[in-house]
Structure 1
Amino acid sequence: MEWRDQGILLNVRRHGETAAIIEVFTEGHGRHAGVVRGGTSRKIAPILQPGAQLDVAWRARLEDHIGTYQVEPLRSRAAAAMSGRLALAGLNAVTGLLAFCLPEREAHPALYRKSEQVLDLLGQDEIWPLAYLNWEMALLEEMGFGLDLSACAVTGTTEGLAYVSPKSGRAVSQASAGEWADRLMPLPPCLRGDGPAPDAEVLEALRVTGYFLEQRLAPELGHKPLPDARGRFVDAFTRTL
Structure 2
Amino acid sequence: MRFEAQAIVCALRNHGEHGAIVWLITAEHGLQAAYVRGARGRRMRPVLIAGNSVHAGFAARNDTQLPQATIELIHSRAPLLSEPLPAAAIEWATALTATALPEGQPYPRLFWALEGLLDAIEAAPSAGGWGAALVRYELLLLAELGFGLDLDNCAVTGSNDDLVAVSPKSGRAVSAAEAEPYACKLLPLPRFVREGGPASWEEIAQGLDLTGHFLLRDLLTDRAQPVADARGRLVDRLRRAGGLA
| TM-score normalised per structure 2 | 0.91
State the match for 2:141 in structure 1.
139
Task: Indicate how the Cα distance of structure 1 residues 70 and 179 shifts in structure 2: closer, same or farther if over 3 A, else same.
Answer: same
For 1:51, the equivalent position in structure 2 comes to: 51
Aligned mate of 2:189, from 181, 187, 190: 187
- 1:17-37 per-residue CA deviation (whole Å, 9 max, x = no partner) reads 111111111111111111111
Q: Quick one: which amino acid aligns to residue 229 of structure 1? A: A
Alignment-derived partner of residue 107 in structure 2: 108
Distance change >3 Å, CA 4–CA 194, structure 1 → 2: closer
For 1:157 and 1:35, the matched residues in 2 are separated by: 52
Aligned AA (2:231)? R
- Please list, as runs of the form range in 1=range in 2, the aligned pairs for 1:1-241 lying within 5 A after superposition: 1-82=1-82, 84-123=83-122, 124=124, 125=126, 126-177=128-179, 179-193=181-195, 196-219=198-221, 223-225=223-225, 226-241=227-242
- On the 8 A contact 1:96/1:227 being kept in 2, the answer is no
| Superposition deviation, residue 163 in structure 1 | 1.5
Residue type of the partner of 1:89? A
Whichever residue aligns with residue 174 of structure 1, its letter is A
Report deviation, 1:178. 5.8
- 3-state DSSP class of the match of 2:151? strand
Once the two structures are superposed, what CA deviation does each residue of 1:100-147 show, in whole Å capped at 9, x if it has no partner?
Answer: 100011110111110011011124123111111111111111111111
1:178 and 1:203 map into 2 onto residues whose CA distance is 21
8 Å CA contact 1:166–1:185 kept in 2: the answer is yes
User: How many Å separate the matches in 1 of 2:109 and 2:25?
Assistant: 12
CA distance, structure 1, for counterparts of residue 44 and residue 224 of structure 2: 32
CA distance in 2, matches of 1:177, 1:86: 34
> How far 1:190 moved relative to its partner?
2.2
**CA 1:201–1:50 in 2, change beyond 3 Å: closer, same or farther?**
same
Q: Tell me how far apart the structure 1 counterparts of residues 146 and 60 of structure 2 sit (CA, whole Å).
A: 31
Matched residue of 2:219: which SS? helix
In structure 2, stretches of 5+ residues that fail to align are: none
Number of equivalent positions: 238
Shift of the 66–196 alpha-carbon distance from structure 1 to 2, 3 Å rule, reads closer
**Alpha carbons 2:92, 2:230 under 8 Å: kept:** yes
Q: CA deviation at 1:5?
A: 0.7
Residues 155 and 173 of structure 2 are in contact (CA less than 8 Å); yes or no, is this contact kept in structure 1?
yes
CA contact (8 A) 2:28 2:107 kept: yes
TM-score calculated relative to the size of structure 1: 0.92
Change (3 A) 1:122 1:196: closer
Query: Would you say the 8 A contact 1:100–1:227 is kept in 2?
Result: no
Q: Which runs of 5+ in 1 are unaligned?
A: none
Go from structure 1 to structure 2 and tell me whether the alpha carbon gap of 1:195 and 1:119 turns closer, same or farther (over 3 Å shift).
closer
Alignment check: 8 A CA contact 1:96 1:230 kept: no
Distance in 2, matches of 1:173 and 1:72, equals 50
User: Can you list the C-alpha shifts for 1:185-225, whole angstroms capped at 9, x where unaligned?
Assistant: 22222222367521111101210110010112335xx7443
Given that 1:81 and 1:122 are in contact with CA atoms closer than 8 Å, whether structure 2 keeps it comes out as no
Query: Hey, what's the Cα distance between the residues in 1 that align with 2:14 and 2:90?
Result: 21
